[in-house]
Amino acid sequence: MFKFTNIVMLFAPIGVGAAIAYTVGHLGIGILVNLVEAARDDVRSA
């Protein structure tokens, strides 16, 4: 059980990277604009 959780956690960067790559490749880099804006606001307000 914990070993399996470990495997999933180790696979997380690959999965998330693949998800971002798929999204960007499919919809273009503009889809990340809102994300960057939100992150910038968070950094500013902090």
Name the residues that contact other proteins, by CB under 8 A: 1, 4-5, 7-8, 11-12, 14-16, 18-26, 28-30, 32-34, 36-37, 41, 44
Burial class for 30, CB neighbours closer than 10 Å (0-12, 13-18, 19+): exposed
Q: Are 38 and 31 in contact (CB under 8 A)?
A: no
Rounded to a whole number of angstroms, the minimum distance from the CB of residue 14 to other proteins is 6
Rounded to a whole number of angstroms, the minimum distance from the CB of residue 19 to other proteins is 4
Q: Residue 17 is which amino acid?
A: G
Rounded to a whole number of angstroms, the minimum distance from the CB of residue 16 to other proteins is 7
